[in-house]
């Protein structure tokens, strides 16, 4: 009887200890999420609470662990390309280890000697102005002026044959310090009628956004896609890409996205906005629907 009782009590103690452990863990997670959500920064009024909750949710970190994630290993002219598909239609994909360490380092070195400026956003007339919708520093690094930028363009053109990267805006770099962010927005440009944009007249609207990662923040700083329920947290040397337009060239409403607030460390990315006119994909597709990711998996 005594052994039975002592067995019973020892089990009780174990159960209580386990409960304490999990309660503590649970409490810690909730508290740390809640604490981050409480962090204020300049421009936080442009973020909804649920968007910040998604940004801060640590479960969104490792896409390749999801039971339904699709990972492809493709050979393009004997070079290996690793593609993680986060959304099939419209496509949102991460290219892992896309750039070499040397490319990453030399581009960061180039940014060090450039002076990065506080970034503006454009209004509906296409006019730039400073706004706390985006808090970041940046600069433009034209391909024809900087071999470090040209090398990135060459790699993208070689490994992603579906897209003609030469029909694009100059590569532009962004650096976010703690408190830096870019509230949820679309990249597809929408101006009021009558505003004149020569570049738009010649090359069309933004078809795709290609983001290259050079430095990952130590806390915060992912890229949130509310419609996909995903936060991309890519590493230095990775790149990710999505389509801003549908097959008929109109704006795709599913691809709103934002740069989550950086809490610690520095985030450095740079972007190539690919323009529509002359892209082969529009000759092959013209329906009123989103593109599918299979166009990125073909070799052409």
Ligand X SMILES: O=C(O)CCC(=O)C(=O)O
Q: Using CB under 5 A, list all residues that contact Fe ion.
A: 187
Among 181, 168, 99, CA closest to 137: 181
In terms of CB distance, is 148 or 244 closer to Fe ion?
Answer: 244
Q: What angle do CA 143, 272, 82 make, to 5 degrees?
A: 110
Which residue minimizes CB distance to ligand X? Answer: 259
Q: At what angle do helices 147-159 and 101-113 cross, to 10 degrees?
A: 140
Residue 269 interacts, among ligand X, Fe ion, none and using kind-specific CB cut-offs from 5 to 8 Å, with ligand X
Cβ within 8 Å of residue 13, ≥6 positions away: none
Which of 81, 268 has the CB closer to ligand X?
A: 268
Residue 84 interacting partner from Fe ion, ligand X, none (CB closer than 5 to 8 Å by kind): none
Minimum CB–partner distance for residue 88 and Fe ion (Å): 21
Nearer to ligand X, 84 or 187 (CB): 187
The item of ligand X, Fe ion, none sharing an interface with residue 262, based on CB under 5 to 8 Å by kind, is none
- Name which of 237 and 259 has its Cβ closer to ligand X: 259
Nearest approach in angstroms of CB 257 to Fe ion is: 6
Residue 223 contact, options Fe ion, ligand X, none, Cβ 5-8 Å cut-off depending on partner type:
ligand X
Contacting residues toward ligand X, per CB under 6 A: 174, 182, 187, 223, 257, 259, 269, 271
User: Smallest distance from the beta carbon of 46 to ligand X, in angstroms?
Assistant: 13
Nearer to ligand X, 204 or 220 (CB): 220
148 binds, among Fe ion, ligand X, none (CB under 5 to 8 A by kind): none
CA 158, distance to chain mean position in Å, is 21
CB of 221 to ligand X, least distance (A): 7
The binder of 60, among Fe ion, ligand X, none, by C-beta within 5 to 8 A per type, is none
Least gap, CB of 118 to ligand X (angstroms) = 14
* CB of residue 280 to Fe ion, shortest distance in Å: 24
225 binds, among ligand X, Fe ion, none (CB under 5 to 8 A by kind): none
Specify the residue for token string 């969104």.
60
- Nearer residue to Fe ion within complex by CB, 80 or 123: 123
């Amino acid at each position: 009887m005594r052994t039975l009782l002592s067995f019973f009590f020892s089990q009780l103690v174990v159960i209580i200890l386990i409960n304490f452990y999990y309660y503590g863990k649970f409490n810690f997670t909730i508290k740390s999420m809640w604490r981050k959500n409480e962090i204020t920064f300049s421009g936080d009024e442009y973020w909804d609470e649920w968007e910040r909750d998604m940004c801060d949710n640590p479960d969104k970190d490792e896409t390749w662990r999801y039971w339904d994630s699709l990972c492809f290993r493709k050979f393009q002219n004997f070079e290996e390309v690793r593609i993680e598909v986060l959304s099939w239609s419209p496509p949102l994909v991460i290219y892992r280890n896309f750039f070499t360490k040397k490319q990453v380092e030399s581009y960061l070195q180039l940014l060090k000697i450039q002076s990065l400026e506080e970034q503006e956003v454009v209004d509906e007339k296409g006019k730039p102005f400073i706004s706390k919708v985006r808090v970041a520093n940046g600069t433009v690094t034209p391909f024809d002026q900087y071999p470090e930028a040209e090398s990135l363009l060459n790699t993208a053109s070689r490994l992603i044959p579906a897209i003609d990267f030469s029909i694009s805006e100059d590569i532009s770099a962004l650096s976010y310090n703690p408190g830096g962010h870019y509230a949820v927005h679309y990249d597809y440009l929408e101006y009021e009628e009558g505003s004149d944009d020569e570049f738009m007249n010649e090359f069309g609207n933004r078809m795709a956004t290609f983001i290259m990662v050079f430095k990952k923040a130590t806390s915060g700083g992912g890229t949130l896609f509310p419609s996909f329920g995903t936060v991309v947290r890519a590493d230095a040397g990775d790149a990710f890409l999505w389509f801003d337009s549908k097959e008929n060239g109109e704006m795709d409403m599913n691809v709103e996205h934002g740069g989550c607030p950086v809490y610690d460390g520095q985030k450095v990315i740079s972007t190539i906005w690919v323009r529509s006119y002359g892209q082969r994909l529009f000759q092959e597709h013209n329906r009123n629907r989103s593109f599918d990711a299979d166009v990125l998996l073909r070799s052409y």
